[in-house]
Amino acid sequence: MWKVMIVEDEVFVRESVKELIRWEEMNFTLVAEAGDGLEALELMKKEPPDLVITDIMMPGMDGVELLKEARRAGMTSKFVMLTCIGDFEYMRQAMEYGASNYILKLSMSVNDLRETLSKINNELTLAKAKQPPDQTQHQHNAAAPERNISHPELNKILSYIEQNYDKDISVKSLARYVMMGENYVSALFKKKIGTTLIHYLHEVRVHRAIRYLLETDLTIHEIGQKVGFVNDNYFIKIFKRCTGTTPSQYRQNVK
């Protein structure tokens, strides 16, 4: 089984991730956990795990710095980043340093985690199969060599979405923006980011909507318009899909 470390400063979130699924059924076993990047790095130096699931924003050493330090130390552990509101710049950095995927804590589900673990399991299995026999015997990790998955056009798309999420955006318009085919852009985005382009756009918009819900007295209609949803019903539908509740219920629950 592949060895997993969970790094998260919020104990509740850490416990939630641990209890969310049956890890052994996915060919993983939890071997370590840490409350910040510094603690995690020391544990990793003693026994590198095959997979690190880490929060991006943490005190002391955040998840991106942990990933960078692990790479500098020659560790090839897979990284999956747990992200929250406003973490998109950090997420881009993490992807550039070889993070395999990210999961939004706000809308994390069993399916999200199972799909991610299935992807990582396949990558690790393939990497192990490609290793020469002597390496397989003497190396603790079966992880793949570090990959540079930075992609200029993909970064342009991520930046464009973050800056223009309130505008009319489609796969077609983004493909035209980076001068690539629609099918290629869709496949590339899914492969590198781990979700569809439109689903990512929806999550960005919902995150911005949450800020308006918490920090302003704007109506649901006004907030929907500000984050790029021209139809109230569609805004409510997507918001509920991402958070499990409607915008009105979310605002009421928080207050």
Same domain, 24 and 70: yes
Domain assignment present for residue 33? The answer is yes
Same domain, 52 and 24: yes
Average pLDDT, the chain: 83
Same domain, 17 and 56: yes
- What's the number of domains the chain is made of? 2
CATH code for the domain of 189: 1.10.10.60
Output the pTM of the full model: 0.54
Ranges assigned E (strand) in the chain:
2-7, 28-34, 51-55, 78-83, 101-104
Element (H, E) at 171: helix 171-177
Beta carbons within 10 angstroms of residue 72's beta carbon: 9
Domain assignment present for residue 81? The answer is yes
Q: What is the pLDDT of residues 148-159, one digit of tens each?
A: 345 778 888 888
Domain assignment present for residue 144? The answer is no
Same domain, 110 and 45: yes
Domain assignment present for residue 146? The answer is no
The residue from 106, 138, 170 where one domain ends is 138
The pLDDT, as a whole number, for residue 116 is 85
- Is there a contact between 63 and 18 (Cβ–Cβ < 8 Å)? no
Domain assignment present for residue 187? The answer is yes
Q: What is the pLDDT of residues 218-240, one digit of tens each?
A: 999 999 999 999 999 999 999 98
Distances (CA, A) of 252 to 43, 217, 231, 232: 42, 12, 22, 18
CATH code for the domain of 51: 3.40.50.2300
The pLDDT, as a whole number, for residue 137 is 39
Give me the domain span that covers residue 76. 2-138
Stretch 183-206: mean pLDDT: 86
The residue from 138, 164, 194 where one domain ends is 138
The amino acid sitting at 199 is H
The residue from 110, 138, 166 where one domain ends is 138
Residue in the block written with tokens 């881009």: 92
Higher-confidence position of 168 and 254: 168
